[in-house]
């Protein structure tokens, strides 16, 4: 079974730009969660999607958004990038939510200059 | 306010030593997860617990729901166990995670 894939793996953007990251879950998994990891804050929950619906969102500004498609693939978007958005963005998939085993993708390393 | 507290933050051990990492949490949970992250970023789920004890090879995880506490034990530690270990809880309130700050483990040959 193929694992969780994330594209792109590395990205360099300029302040003020926007970025879209993609996550393809394991086949059959309907829940996709997104996380931000920085040296200062550690891992933080961004949002969770199940069957195209956002069920929960972490404490992040509205510049961070996401969506899930009918095939369970998910995208997250960050608009008006700030230097502090530089981070490793991880997604994870599971059968039905965070009370199930999570399978993480390799992450997208975003650098904002 | 940190919903999840992990200790120690850093741990250095000699190969073969028994290692314990602790996790305390303050919210009601549906599950607790132990994650392993190697340099380079990849995260692997080691255990998911809602009660009792689980064992995979040299790794053992326990949870005490009443005391809101979990431990991860590594028996006969090996240099390849060197990684960051992260405790995460899925609260009863919904589909999200609260994360501990992680324990950086270095096992010296």
Q: Give the minimum alpha-carbon distance from B45 to chain A in angstroms, rounded to a whole number.
A: 6
Residue B94 has pLDDT above 80, yes or no: no
Percentage of residues in chain B with pLDDT exceeding 70? Answer: 99
Residues present in chain B in total: 109
Q: Of the candidates A33, A90, A101, which has its C-beta nearest B45's C-beta?
A: A101
pLDDT tens per residue across span A32-47: 999 999 988 899 999 9
Q: Give the minimum alpha-carbon distance from A110 to chain B in angstroms, rounded to a whole number.
A: 13
**B29, B41, B91, best to mutate vs chain A, most A CBs in 10 Å:** B41
**With contact defined as beta carbons under 8 Å apart, do A104 and A91 qualify?**
yes
Burial of A50: CB neighbours in 10 Å, binned 0-12, 13-18, 19+: buried
Percentage of residues in chain A with pLDDT exceeding 90? Answer: 89
List chain B residues with CB under 8 Å of A56: 94-96
Tell me whether residues B97 and A106 touch, CB distance under 8 A: no
> What is the secondary structure of A45-64 as a DSSP string?
EEEEEETTEEEEE-S--TTE
Three-state DSSP at A84 gives helix
Identify the CA nearest to A6 among candidates A33, A28, A40, A44: A33
Identify the CA nearest to B85 among candidates B69, B98, B104, B99: B104
pLDDT tens per residue across span B11-54: 999 999 999 999 999 999 999 999 999 987 789 999 999 999 99
List chain B residues with CB under 8 Å of A9: none
């Amino acid at each position: 079974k193929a694992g969780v894939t994330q594209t792109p793996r590395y990205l360099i953007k300029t302040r003020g730009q926007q970025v879209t990251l993609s996550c393809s879950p394991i086949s059959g998994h309907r829940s996709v969660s997104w996380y931000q990891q920085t040296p200062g804050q550690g891992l933080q929950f961004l949002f969770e999607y199940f069957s195209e619906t956002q069920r929960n969102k972490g404490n992040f500004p509205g510049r961070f958004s996401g969506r899930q498609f009918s095939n369970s693939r998910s995208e997250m978007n960050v608009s008006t990038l700030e230097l502090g958005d530089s981070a490793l963005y991880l997604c994870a998939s599971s059968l039905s939510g965070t009370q199930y085993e999570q399978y993480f993708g390799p992450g997208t390393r975003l650098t904002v200059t | 306010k940190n919903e999840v507290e992990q200790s120690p933050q850093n741990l250095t051990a000699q190969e073969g030593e028994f290692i314990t990492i602790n996790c305390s949490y303050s919210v009601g949970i549906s599950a607790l997860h132990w994650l392993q992250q190697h340099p380079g970023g990849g995260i692997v789920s080691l255990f998911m617990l809602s009660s009792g004890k689980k064992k995979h090879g040299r790794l053992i995880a326990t949870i005490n729901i009443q005391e809101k506490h979990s431990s991860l034990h590594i028996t006969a530690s090996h240099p390849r166990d060197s990684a960051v270990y992260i405790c995460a809880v899925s609260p009863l309130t919904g589909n999200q995670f609260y994360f501990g700050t992680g324990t950086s483990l270095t096992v010296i040959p």
